[in-house]
Amino acid sequence: MSHTAHIRSHRKPRRSASTIAMRAGVAGGVLGTLAVAASGAANAAEPVTQTFEMPTLTGDLVAQIAQSADATQQAAADYQLQAERDAAAANAAKQAKADLAEAKQKAEAARKKAAEAARKAAAERASRDSARDTLSASTATQASTSTATGSAAAVIAFVKAQIGDAYVSGGTGPNSWDCSGMVQAAFKQVGIDLPRVSQDQSVAGTQVSLSNLQPGDILYWGSAGSAYHVAVYVGDGMFVGAQNPSTGVVMKPLSYDPPSGAVRVL
């Protein structure tokens, strides 16, 4: 018998493998329970955050976005252009309407003016026709008294002698005359001093009717006191006057240019 057999060993007794495995399982279970509990507590304490993965911007996607932006910009420009065109068309239509109304007003005013001018022309023609009829009717009665004598014959002889002379405004002879200058010179031959201008000569004597003319009467055109032309009646429905630059001194029938009135100074 060994001398050490009675001494107790200082080493702990060996545990069996089953005991160790059981203890490890228990420890693992406890740790797992603690981990679950801790995870639950953490989940309860912190909010859940979801993470989305953003798509990667590739070259094609960038090009598509740029094209979409360009298309949007072009659509906006087209819309603005169309709006401007619509506004221009509306303004043009408004202006055209105003122009049409103005044109109608002008046309109506022109129509009224033309109608008034035609009315005046018709009235003047009627007056001239009436004067011609009166002069034609009086010509027959005047024929028997158309032979001038005395001072009237001298006046008539003078004006007939000037036929063919030139008409010159302000002319007083001897080879060019205006209407009142020749009349004044004719009556000066018989000692009658007439005013120089036709306005005054038209009121220088006694007013006589055109249906009762005598050779040597002074004819006038326009109103008495404001006449614009004068001549001398020479009988047989004829007169002699310095008419205008194109005709000069001529003898014409009364119907050629019917006078407005007459005065007698002889």
| DSSP state letters, 157-218 | HHHHHTTTPEE-TT-BSSSEE-HHHHHHHHHHTTT----SSHHHHTTSSEEE-GGG--TTPE
Mind spelling out the 3-state secondary structure of 27-92?
HHHHHHHHHHHHHHHHHHHCCCCCCCCCCCCCHHHHHHHHHHHHHHHHHHHHHHHHHHHHHHHHHH
- Is residue 210 assigned to a domain? yes
- Is residue 123 assigned to a domain? yes
74 vs 258: which has the higher pLDDT:
258
Question: What's the number of domains the chain is made of?
Answer: 1
Give the strand pairing for 166-167 and 261-264: unpaired
- Is residue 23 assigned to a domain? no
Mean pLDDT for the chain? 80
Q: What percent of the chain has pLDDT over 90?
A: 44
Q: Which domain holds residue 162?
A: 81-266
pTM: 0.49
Q: Give every CB contact of residue 112 below 8 A, 6+ residues apart in sequence.
A: none
- Is residue 98 assigned to a domain? yes
Band of pLDDT at residue 120, cut at 50, 70 and 90:
confident
The whole-angstrom separation of Cα 263 and Cα 212 is 11
Q: Is the pLDDT of residue 179 over 70?
A: yes
Query: In the structure encoding, which two tokens stand for residue 79, read together?
Result: 């819309």
- Is residue 13 assigned to a domain? no
- Is residue 212 assigned to a domain? yes
57 vs 220: which has the higher pLDDT:
220
The whole-angstrom separation of Cα 10 and Cα 8 is 6
Residue 183: CB atoms within 10 A of its CB come to 29
Peptide bond into 258 cis (omega under 30): no
Phi then psi for residue 93, to 5 deg, are: -65, -40
- Is residue 39 assigned to a domain? no
At 227, which CATH number?
3.90.1720.10
Query: In the structure encoding, which two tokens stand for residue 107, read together?
Result: 């046309």
Query: In the structure encoding, which two tokens stand for residue 62, read together?
Result: 């960038």
